[in-house]
Structure 1
Amino acid sequence: MNRKIILFTLGAFAASMAGSTAWAVGDNNNEPPKKTKTTTQCKDGKIWDAKRSRCVEAKRSDLGDDILFDAARELAYAGQYENAIKVLDAMKEQRSARVLNYRGFANRKAGRMELGMQYYRRAIQADENYILARSYMGQALVEQGRVEEARAQLVEIRDRGGEDSWAYKALLQSLGGIRQY
């Protein structure tokens, strides 16, 4: 197949996926977050506090980082990128790969591609084996037309034992299902 046709096809596919939140799936799992009262009842970046049975401001809550992270992930998946960032800001854990990765995801999806890429790089620096950051970075590279660099991330995911993971499959699909490595 002609290289221009392949690149055009990949570009069209990436453009069609760019606005989709379907790629906000999991912290290395393949299940979308379950909707909770955080996205069904709370407004303005507040999150549901089950102990208090009400919406609370993430920064003022005493909720632990895992609860805050799950809320940020849910908000990001729901397309509420700025609210996801607010919740991530409330976490004590600021330098972990998972937090940096979702900062990258939320910023990229909010239209701040370069800032998102910076966060993905920082996530990978924090944990070079954090394959979800490699997948999201690869998807961003596809969106930018940087297909060879995206393929390099696919190889990194494979080489780090992630060939059966959602991260690998999502990036492979973004590449049009072509494994050329």
Structure 2
Amino acid sequence: MNHKNLVFALFAAGATSFMAHAVMAAGEDTSEPPKKTKTTSECTDGKVWDAKKKACVDAKKSDLGDDILFQAARELAYAGQYENSIRVLGAVKDQQSARVLNYLGYANRKAGRMELGMQYYKRALQADENYILARSYMGQALIEQGRVEEARVQLVEIRDRGGENTWAYRALLQSLGGVRQY
């Protein structure tokens, strides 16, 4: 490989790595379920496990940071405890962050409040139009509503924003039957 090709290859690899990192950071795009903690095994009524205090605490009255509260809300949502997830998300200080709005959308949709969920997904995308996880969840909600063409638009948006090799893209593609039609 000559010098120019080597420089280009290194640049391309760095750019690809940067894009993958940016996409992941922007959307917490992961196929990994959250780590289970005592939040879902011992705490009730929207309380969160505080590792320092070794106790379940009221999320709103705790001094837990936004990241810990968000992870707890995500854990609760994955465990099917949607109302508790919403309660914990309400304790996060940054109520306008795309990730909080997205999980409010997810938890409300899964709890049977589709229209409210869709409003939160739209607000998440207003906060960050590159938040591909919100696009994926919104696309899945659109499919549930029979709005398949609109879901395909979200798949294209994810792809065009550099997210083709992400869980968000694969999950929505699978929901569409695994067929790329764009």
The answer for the alignment partner of 1:115 in structure 2 is: 116
Cα shift readout 1:111-138 (whole Å, capped 9, x = no counterpart): 0000000000000010000000000000
The answer for the alignment partner of 2:126 in structure 1 is: 125
Cα separation, 2, equivalents of 1:34 and 1:64: 17
Give the deviation of 1:44 after TM superposition.
1.1
The answer for the alignment partner of 1:105 in structure 2 is: 106
The answer for the alignment partner of 1:45 in structure 2 is: 46
- Over aligned residue pairs, what C-alpha RMSD do you find? 0.8
TM (normalized to structure 1)? 0.85
Superposition map of 1:48-59 within 5 A = 48-59=49-60
The answer for the alignment partner of 1:175 in structure 2 is: 176
Runs (4 or more) in structure 1 with deviation over 3 Å come to none
The answer for the alignment partner of 2:159 in structure 1 is: 158
Cα shift readout 1:124-174 (whole Å, capped 9, x = no counterpart): 010000000000000000001100000000000000000000000000000
Superposition map of 1:88-103 within 5 A = 88-103=89-104
The answer for the alignment partner of 1:14 in structure 2 is: none
Give the deviation of 1:27 after TM superposition.
2.6
Give the deviation of 1:29 after TM superposition.
1.1
Cα separation, 1, equivalents of 2:45 and 2:28: 24
Mark the runs of 5 or more structure 2 residues left unpaired by the alignment: 1-26
Helix, strand or coil for the counterpart of 1:149? helix
Cα shift readout 1:44-99 (whole Å, capped 9, x = no counterpart): 11110000000000000000000000000000000000000000000101001000
Higher alpha-carbon Rg: 2
Mark the runs of 5 or more structure 1 residues left unpaired by the alignment: 1-25
Counterpart amino acid of 2:55?
A: R
Cα separation, 1, equivalents of 2:139 and 2:31: 17
Cα separation, 1, equivalents of 2:181 and 2:118: 24
- Percentage of matched positions with identical amino acids: 81
Matched residues, number: 156
Give the deviation of 1:34 after TM superposition.
1.3
TM (normalized to structure 2)? 0.85
